[in-house]
Amino acid sequence: MFEKILVAIDGSPESEKALEMAVDLAAHYNAELIAISVVEFTEVPGTVSEVDVGASDTWHGQNLATAIVLRARELGIAGATVVRGVEGFGATSRIYTARILRLSEDLPLKVEIVDRAERIDKLLPLLDEMVTEGLVTVQDVHVARYVHDPQVKPSES
């Protein structure tokens, strides 16, 4: 009567019962059993804060971008990345570019910080204090995937 039996499982007790019934039916009718795993995709809302500063900017004697990354880490933020720009301008409209040697020491840096909104909100007052010249933006994002190896412990540096 049946050549193939398809059953979807999601780990719930109901799907376990459906799997048992499908196994019994497949055995009874000598049918091929195909099981598929189904998971509910849950949209994960996130927030990204982008901080634009100059490569020569400092905070308490430390490179500002590095200081921002370290503060974000102390707060348990999910992630932060510093990207070096090759050209740009800010409020002064002065062009900073790697092509002109005399201006290349203050190239633009973008610090991108991503986490849930409530964690980014805790970082904003610190950014207000730390960034005396630059731009701080905040926007909602859809986090499609964020995975890490739970066995890997954060480094101490």
The CATH number linked to 138 is 3.30.70.120
Burial of 153 (0-12, 13-18, 19+ CB in 10 A): exposed
> Whole-prediction pTM value?
0.65
Domain-embedded: residue 156: no
Report pLDDT for 68.
97
Q: 53 and 106: one domain?
A: yes
Q: 65 and 106: one domain?
A: yes
Q: 53 and 126: one domain?
A: yes
Q: 74 and 133: one domain?
A: yes
Domain-embedded: residue 69: yes
Report pLDDT for 129.
96
Write out the residue range of the structural domain in which residue 133 sits: 44-143
For residue 6, is pLDDT > 70? yes
Cβ–Cβ under 8 Å, residues 133 and 44: no
Domain-embedded: residue 150: no
Number of domains in the chain: 2
Q: For the segment 74-97, what is each residue's pLDDT rounded down to a tens digit?
A: 999 989 999 988 777 777 777 777
Domain-embedded: residue 68: yes
CA distance 107 to 109: 7
Q: 78 and 9: one domain?
A: no
CA distance 108 to 6: 56
Helices in the chain by DSSP H: which ranges? 13-29, 64-74, 117-130
